[in-house]
A and B are shown apart, each in its own frame.
Chain A
Amino acid sequence: MSFRIISALVLRYLFLYTRTPMRLVELVFWPLVDLVVWGNVTVFIQKNSDAQFGGFILFFLGAMILWDILFRAQQGVAISFLEDVWTRNLLNVFVAPVRTAEYLSATFAVGFLRILVTVVVMSLVSWIGYSFNIFQLQWWLLPFFLNLMVFGWALGMISTALILRWGQAAESLAWAVPFFIQPVVCVFYRVEDMPAWAQPIAWCFPATPIFEGMREVMVTGVMSWNHLWLAGGLNVIYLALAGWLFAWVLNLTRKRGLLTKFATQ
């Protein structure tokens, strides 16, 4: 892997974001809309419930900020790929000496930058507007951040592989894939609140122990290490499987001659 090539690809996205400020607005606008809606709902419920429940309701804001880490990481990978498709630049990249791993690493880095922008803005607004301080998660925030980002990358690779396989008609998957799993990773509720049959499914995703851990930390100040080990272990598996899937689909599109059709349509 060459850092020079990865940084060149990242530079391209930085040029793109600085040339088209509307893309930066997109990074901030929708998360802020979500935050204001959920923040106001939180304030409303806090005012109309007892103190204990009012404390629990802050989970929503924490969950929303953490969910955005996962979502923005996934978008970083999938949307970066689609940018190349939309600008008919994909062939230029695929006939340049760029390894698949370098291409993906650049999209991971873009995902990381997208997260930074979104999370910093959301954290500030939730602190100033709703007295929710994300740093109450203490140093646990770091493993939460890392695990959700890595899972987002894996979902981004899966989304991209599906788009590669099914063509531009499937590009809505770039936005849809994270929401397929949102109901089962218990972002806004506990695993034990799910139907019994769905609970084992929930534990198959690395995001579930992170969201469970977040609630645990907000209540008790500590988190079960088992949750962290589970998230980390599952992430290794997901990242490896997603990487394999992406490479397999890319090879399949080459075998079937679909890559050039896809890149020039």
Chain B
Amino acid sequence: MAAADTREVILEARELTREFDGVKALDRFSFKLHRGEVLGLLGANGAGKTTAMNCLLGLTLPTSGELEAFGKPLHAHRIEILRRANFSSAYTALPGNLLVWQNLLVFARIYGVPNPKQKIAELLDLLEIPHLDKRVTGQLSAGESTRVNLVKAFLNDPELLMLDEPTASLDPDIADKVRKVVRKVQRERSIGILYTSHNMRDIEEVCDRVIFLHKGKIVCEGTPAQIMARSSSNSLEDVFIKIARDGEIVDEPEKEKAS
């Protein structure tokens, strides 16, 4: 039995359920994210990851259940919590007709970043994109755009970061750089990260712990190594496929007995 994590819980969902027209997109979903931990949220399309992320960001209200961040109920303390958190998604964009530095300056001011120009320059350097600051945001490549979004996500030195498929549509080289930067910043600043991805390489490299969702329910939870061992798989990709097809992972010996 694994030892209990003694680090501070910065995000917690208890029995979170979200129904759409009678269909449960999330079904009594519970988890804890600790300070300095990277938690991967995995599942096939429609498994409930996006719904979970949206509930956690306060964009969608749960049908039932409780959500807390930094020990406070999310909906009652939304603004206070969002000041200490940030978000980046492959599916959102910064206004395309503004220059990169203009977009970042606006968000730096929203988050009340002291000395915003210096902070932006530091983060652009960290993400290896200082040359992009005067470029038009809408003319960036997918890889450049992702890294600019990450600069925005790191602007306020968040204690809690939600990354929704940050390496989607990136080539392997850029995806690798993004993973390394996320891991570096996360370790240096002890950020708690909730990370969704369909790229299992991402998950294996970045996540300390993983939750697999299927039809809104948690079907499997643990470190990537524990999960692979449990399902006698060599990779998380195999586990992903098993869960997507069977809805659960069955230990190989048990499967043989059953057949």
Contact = CB atoms under 8 A, between A and B. Distances in A.
Interface of A: 4-5, 7-9, 11-12, 15-16, 19-20, 83-84, 87-89, 91-92, 94-99, 251, 254-255, 257, 259-260, 263-264
Contact of A11 (B54, B61, B85, B109): B109
B59 interface: yes
B157 to A, nearest CB: 14
Nearest to B149: A92
A179 B112 CA distance: 40
B107 A4 contact: no
A91 B89 contact: yes
A87 B109 contact: no
Contacts of A19: 97-99, 102
Interface in B55-86: 57-61, 79-80, 82-83, 85-86
Given A7-B109, A19-B98, A259 B60 contact: yes
Contact of A87 (B50, B51, B58, B95): B95
A97 B96 CA distance: 22
B110 A257 contact: no
Given A8-B106, A87-B96, A96 B60 contact: no
Interface string B83-117: 10111010111111111001101110111100000
A4 to B, nearest CB: 6
Majority-rule SS of B interface residues:
mixed
A95 B59 contact: yes
Given A11-B109, A12-B103, 11 more contacts: A8-B107, A12-B102, A15-B102, A91-B89, A92-B87, A95-B85, A95-B86, A254-B58, A254-B59, A260-B50, A260-B59
Contacts of A15: 98-99, 102, 106
Majority-rule SS of A interface residues:
helix
A12 B112 contact: no
Contact of B109 (A4, A89, A255): A4
Given A16-B98, A95-B82, A9 B110 contact: yes
A19 B99 CA distance: 8
A257 B20 contact: yes
A84 B51 CA distance: 22
Contacts, number: 98
A19 B107 CA distance: 18
Contact of A95 (B87, B109, B112): B87
A11 B106 contact: yes
Contacts of B83: 97
A8 B105 CA distance: 8
B18 interface: yes
B87 A83 contact: no
B109 A8 contact: yes
Contacts of A94: 59
B12 to A, nearest CB: 19
A203 to B, nearest CB: 40
Give chain B's interface residue range (CB within 8 Å of chain A). Answer: 35 or more
Contacts of B95: 12, 16, 83-84, 87, 89
A96 B111 contact: yes
Nearest to A99: B79
Nearest to B88: A92
B152 interface: yes
Contacts of B20: 257
Max count, chain A CB within 10 A of own CB: residue among B58, B98, B107, B152 = B98
A204 B61 CA distance: 36
Nearest to A259: B59
A264 B18 contact: no
Contacts of A99: 79
Contacts of A5: 109-110
A92 B58 contact: no
Contacts of B86: 95
Given A20-B97, A257-B54, A260-B54, A91 B59 contact: yes
A143 B76 CA distance: 39
Contacts of B97: 16, 19-20, 87
A257 B97 CA distance: 28
Contacts of B18: 257
A11 B95 CA distance: 13
Contacts of A98: 79, 110
A52 B51 CA distance: 68
Given A11-B109, A97-B110, A92 B54 contact: no
A124 B18 CA distance: 57
A139 to B, nearest CB: 37
A99 B99 CA distance: 25
- Please name the 10 residue pairs, one residue from A and one from B, whose CB atoms are nearest each other, closest first: A8-B109, A87-B95, A97-B82, A257-B60, A88-B93, A12-B106, A97-B83, A15-B102, A91-B92, A8-B110
